[in-house]
Copies of this chain bind each other. A is one copy, B any other.
């Protein structure tokens, strides 16, 4: 039952190629800049950022995983590495001994703030700075539903809930 799937038309093809292309190049570019200038990966940057905006600079491991689009194993390993470098620390979660909270250390916060300008500058130079106000709006309008679709597709359980559903923050109880 090979259901007939129509080919892409011109507009679809352009949009798709551009999207796939950027999905390929952008992460590599972000990694390269951050790695070179601050010695952290873009993924680590995202994790540190998420912690930085969390109450008490602390998040449950699985919460952080959702916020960074990461699988649990991946996050676990990255946290171990960052912990070894003193950027974050694992603190036992009061009220649930299986879980652990991840806390941004003072050093981690410093590193993050140090990395921020360079990162932001790259993002402006390559992306935001090239788009008009209207284009920014259109980009968000176009990609947000896509993001949500990906996050909610049962075929991709690792993304589950990436469309903000849990606003829990750190579990302190």
A2 touches B (CB below 8 Å): yes
Cα(A136)–Cα(B19), bound, Å: 10
Whether B5 lies near A159 (C-beta < 8 A) is: no
Whether B127 contacts A19 by the Cβ 8 Å rule is: yes
| Interfacial chain B residues near A11, Cβ < 8 Å | 133, 136-137, 140
Which segment, of A22-30, A55-63, A78-86, faces chain B?
A: A22-30
Do B155 and A19 touch across chains, with their CB atoms under 8 A apart?
Answer: no
**Contact pick for A162, options B2, B19, B21, B69, CB 8 Å:** B21
Complex Cα gap A61–B131 (Å): 34
- Given the interface pairs A5-B117, A18-B143, the reply to whether A25 lies near B69 with Cβ below 8 Å is yes
Number of copies: 2
Which of B2, B14, B153, B162 has a CB less than 8 Å from the CB of A144? B14
Cβ of A12: which chain B residues have Cβ within 8 Å of it? 128, 136
Please tell me if the beta carbons of A5 and B143 are within 8 angstroms of each other in the complex: no
The answer to whether A28 and B158 touch (CB under 8 A), given A16-B123, A117-B3, is: yes
Among residues of B, the one whose C-beta sits closest to the C-beta of A146 is B127
Interface centre among A16, A33, A162 (most CB of B within 10 A): A16
Contact A18:B124 (CB < 8 A) given known A23-B27, A25-B69: no
**Can you list 20 A-B contacts (CB < 8 A)?**
A3-B117, A8-B128, A11-B136, A15-B143, A18-B144, A18-B147, A19-B26, A19-B127, A21-B162, A22-B147, A23-B23, A24-B69, A25-B162, A28-B159, A29-B156, A29-B159, A126-B149, A130-B146, A131-B145, A135-B138
